[in-house]
Structure 1
Amino acid sequence: MSNLDIKQTVDVAIIGGGTAGLAAYRAAKEHTNSVLMIEAGPYGTTCARVGCMPSKLLIAAAENAHQYEKSAQFGVNLGKPHIDGRAVMQRVKSERDRFVGFVLESVEGIDAEHKLDGYAQFVDQHHLQVQHTNGETSMVHAKRIVIATGSRPAYPAAWSDLGDRLLVNDDIFEWDTLPESIAVFGPGVIGLELGQALHRLGVKVLMFGVGGAVGPLTDPALTDYANTLYAKEFYLDSDAKVELIERSENGVKLRYLNKQDETVETEVDYLVAATGRRANTDKLGLDKLNIELDPRGVPTADHYTLQTSLSHIFIAGDASNQIPLLHEAADQGKIAGDNAGRGKDIRAGLRRTSIAAVFSDPQIAMVGESHRQIEKRLGNCGCFEIGEVSFENQGRSRVMLVNKGIAHLYGEQGTGRFLGAEIIGPNAEHLAHLLAWAHQSQMTISQMLDMPFYHPVIEEGIRTALRDLNAKLHLGPEMIDACMECGVGS
């Protein structure tokens, strides 16, 4: 390759201008001014445009409507609310655009010489061919490269036959008003949040899943509870038998077996695919590289440095196929950009305790290791215990009529160390933060019980679970030795 083929030579090239890419850019700039960010689509973040922020705006409207329905139980009769779908979506889009604007302001502050519009593909380990929107191509030579290309919704190819009656979550936030009915496929985080919110805003919602999972939960007891609870509010079959999905004249025709094994035929306005996301790494030309890939075709990376099997290439954010959350993308982008900027002086970055929340009602939260992870690591020897609290009779929860849910906290036999938690319940987003701080501080259950709890608050439920867990743990050297083969303390 001759130098005439190369338009730019830089120390660091970053592919992608979302949360991870912007964080990587800022971190790399701390070490070198020779940084180039390559972005094909609109600059900004999945979170601000089509993810966490617009979905929370829709959920906020739904929560407000739902409060009216609950008010009579307090002796406050407000009547049935009138939901103006156009007004709901106008606020969602207006506030969404405001959040996106803040992101774009930060992008506009980046020097033009550090940005390149176009689709980047690897030609070899150090060269990227960039296809510009005007049809022209250029070549970039980079000493080090950060892949931060994000992810996109994924769904079965056959659903494409539904045409404009097939939606992903991105499409919902472009509605001018609310439809009459939808079928949501995938009761995960996105499907559960949007499906419940739309139901509470007067949309008829049918929700289908495969395998029985709800949200990110892995604890069988909590999964069963969630299935029962949400199914009382709207149609939810998390292990559905759907026989027919086809485009009809006015929407989508469905035929499925209900929970009584009866055949049901119905029609909805739209099918919403919430069946997961796919990392945007399949069109990068990775086949030109001798790089190690995981089973999904995504480059593997060191958890602490974000360095791939090629020492000069890093990957961050949703593209890394690790944890597709904004705060994780920002942390990963910072680590990857910092190391790309440093060059050979690679350093481990701070990886915080895992924390996730689903803004359903009641909320779902995950902290630290999941039940599935702990069971795989310690379950064979019975080297962990579970502390439980039910929120159904928990004082403050019952006062506020939010008394639904259970929480499981996991502790390690021998050491008494707090391992993680899965929660479905009121204010789970806030409970999760307290537990995440304890987990990152490597606290024991007894140390957590030494922390102050006010009365009456929902947090007292966590103390109940901690007491239950503490009573079940057997501490001391003998128990540690007995469990050592299972990985205690690792």
Structure 2
Amino acid sequence: METRQCDVLIIGAGTAGLKAYKAAVARGADTVIVEKGPGGSTCTRVGCMPSKLLIAAARHAHEARRAAEFGVVTGAVTIDAARVWQRVRDERDRFVAAVLDDYHAIPAGHVLHGTGRFTGPDTVTTDERTIVARHGIIIATGGHPIIPDALDAVRDRVHTHETIFEIDGLPQRLAVFGAGPLGLELAQAFARLGSEVTVIDSGDTVGELDDPEANTLALAALRKEMRIELGVDASAQPGDDGACICWDGGSVTVDLILAATGRPPTLDALNLDATGIARDDHGTPTFDQSTRRCGDSRIFIAGDANAWRPVLHEAARGGRIAGDVAAGGPPAREIPSLAIAFTEPNIVSVGTRFDALPDGARIGSATVEDNGRATADGRSDGIVRLYADGDGLLIGATIVAPEGEHLGHLVALAIDRGTDIATFADQPWYHPTVEELLQSAARDLLGTDA
């Protein structure tokens, strides 16, 4: 078997892998990527971008139906499903092509096709060769969707995010298993495009919210557009008119099911036993967040493969960190976490979460219904919750609000800059804007209306 030596080896050519490659090459490392598929990111192919394209179509349909509330008289809103899907797929393919340009630009001999498998802490084999990495091996194999066993009997009606964007037409009745960000985003999009949607989850929260006040208001807002059943363990069986989903106290019959119950890391084929690195109870390697290094080994893990903050910007940053450190660079600084569900209202978590607040933490709130701009726009659901530590420093937020995605970025920047709540409140918050919610929440935390 042919042997290839290099400085840095990367397994996986998705977002994290491609960023790791660029970072390592920038430091002069002889870098090789092993990729078993076509390359490119989950985000562009089957994740962030096609979902946002579907959400955009759904938003326009929703706004058109609401136009009469503002005195705008329109005709009946109809959905041309073929045109909706055509735009989703055309734009998605354009995004994919842009990512693949980076992949295809990698010089010949630096991309090896096949499934990488560890044979030792610094060696990986494919079907045709052995690769020996002198400085580091980066695991960037991403994650994969799972289908609950409870849906085994109706698998012919089940889709995941990897297949849902290839369906024909729009289901009349859709069940979504999973009330996390992905499940909620697609559930609301299909509901706004005319499907009768039921969301089912065994937990008692939506959008991974742990702040009870925010969860209550988010749930109330989303239930205006779809049925949401929380705290239930459901199973499905074939029925005369579709898939019959039953749980204690309820049931629903649907034409299609979307399983959005998580994306565990794709690690099984790697033979991690040969590496000697420590792993958690789920079999995922443990690692240092500032370097992405696994213990004191020369193995790194980045992106969704490490199951930590599985969102694109973290995958990209994690890949850059791993590639840089593996090639001799320094550790990275810590940045605030930021997670967004692109529902309406947006669901956003920034920095320290509610269930991890330290002793002495204080909370300030502002409800969306009290915001002039949101009221003018007819979008009055939600709440902003700001968290400060005992010294008055802004440390986190939970946001359920229109344009919450933008509010979250402002909070993240303020946390990163070490801003205290008094300074945060004393900014030029323009009136009337949704951003004023941040000032209102900060003033509530300070106990002042000034």
TM-score scaled by length of structure 2: 0.96
Cα distance in 1 between the residues matched to 2:443 and 2:63: 33
Aligned counterparts, 1:107-126, within 5 A? 107-126=103-122
The AA in structure 2 aligned to 1:86 is A
Contact 2:161 / 2:260 at 8 angstroms: preserved in 1? yes
Matching residue's letter, 2:281: P
Equivalent position amino acid for 1:390 in 2? T
CA apart distance, 1:462 = 1.1
Tell me, in whole angstroms, the C-alpha distance in 2 between the residues paired with 1:167 and 1:337: 34
Equivalent residue, structure 2, for 1:209? 201
Correspondent of 1:304 among 277, 287, 290: 290
Aligned to 2:418, what secondary structure does the other structure show?
coil
* Partner in structure 2 of residue 353 of structure 1: 336
- Length, aligned pairs only: 447
Tell me the percent identity.
Answer: 40
Quick one: distance in 2 between partners of 1:287 and 1:159?
32
Q: Are the aligned partners of 1:388 and 1:408 in contact in 2 as well (CA < 8 Å)?
A: yes
Q: What is the match of residue 446 of structure 2?
A: 470
Which residue in the other structure is 1:247 paired with? 238
Corresponding residue for 2:190? 198
Q: Aligned equivalents of 1:97 and 1:161: distance in 2?
A: 33
Task: Confirm whether residue 402 of structure 1 aligns to residue 379 of structure 2.
Answer: yes
| 1:65 corresponding residue in structure 2 | 61
Moved more, 306-315 or 19-28: 306-315
Q: Secondary structure at the match of 1:47?
A: helix
Moved more, 168-177 or 181-190: 168-177
Q: 1:456 to 1:160 in 2, by over 3 A?
A: same
Matched, 1:427 2:427: no
SS, match of residue 79 in structure 1: coil
Alignment equivalent of 1:461, drawn from 422, 437, 445: 437
Could you say what secondary structure the match of 2:38 adopts?
A: coil
1:476 corresponds to: none
Equivalent position of 1:139 in the other structure = 130
d(CA) in 2 for partners of 1:250 and 1:309? 54
Question: How many angstroms apart in 2 are the aligned matches of 1:125 and 1:34?
Answer: 18
Gapped regions of structure 1 (runs ≥ 5) = 132-136, 473-490
Equivalent position of 1:370 in the other structure: 353
Structure 2 residue runs of 5 or longer lacking an equivalent are none
Matched with 2:50 is 54
Following TM superposition, by how much is the alpha carbon of 1:316 offset from its aligned partner in structure 2, in angstroms? 0.5
Aligned to 1:449: 425
**Residue 99 of structure 2: aligned partner:** 103
**Cα distance between partner residues in 1 of 2:188 and 2:205:** 16
The answer to whether structure 1 residue 26 and structure 2 residue 3 are counterparts is no
Corresponding letter in the other structure for 1:385: R
**CA deviation string 1:372-393 (max 9, x = no partner):** 111xx32xxxx01110000113
SS at match of 1:275: coil
Give the aligned CA root-mean-square deviation in angstroms: 1.5
- Maintained 8 Å contact 1:89/1:178: no
**1:42, distance to aligned residue in structure 2 (A):** 1.6
User: Which amino acid in structure 1 is aligned with residue 382 of structure 2?
Assistant: G
Aligned partners of 2:30, 2:389: CA distance in 1, in Å? 48
Q: Distance in 2 between matches of 1:348 and 1:451?
A: 33
Are the counterparts in 1 of residues 150 and 236 from structure 2 also a CA contact under 8 Å?
Answer: no
**Aligned residue for 1:339?**
325
Q: What are the superposed Cα offsets for residues 104-157 of structure 1, whole Å, 9 maximum, x if unpaired? A: 1111111011101110010111211113xxxxx321111220000000112323
Distance in 2 between the 1:102 and 1:241 partners? Answer: 42
2:393 corresponding residue in structure 1: 417
SS in 2 for 1:463: helix
Tell whether the 8 Å contact from 2:217 to 2:381 is kept in structure 1 after alignment.
no
67, 77, 81: which is aligned to 1:81? 77
Corresponding residue for residue 143 of structure 2: 151
Relative distance call for 1:47 and 1:27 in structure 2 (3 A) is same
Residue 316 of structure 1 is matched in structure 2 by: 302
Q: Work out which of the two has the higher radius of gyration on C-alpha atoms and give 1 or 2.
A: 1
| SS of alignment partner, residue 112 of structure 1 | coil
Contact between 1:65 and 1:201, CA under 8 Å: does it hold in 2? Answer: yes
Match of 2:267 in 1: 281
Q: Normalised by the size of structure 1, how large is the TM-score? A: 0.88
Partner SS, residue 65 of structure 2: helix
| SS of match in other structure, 2:269 | coil
Letter in 1 for 2:191: H
- Tell me the distance in 2 between the aligned counterparts of 1:107 and 1:33: 17
Contact 1:331 1:351 in 2 (8 A): no
Report if the CA contact (8 A) 1:389-1:406 is conserved.
yes
Q: What are the Cα deviations for residues 187-233 of structure 1, in whole angstroms up to 9, with x where unaligned?
A: 10000000000000011111101121100211011112222221222
- What amino acid sits opposite 1:317 in the alignment? G
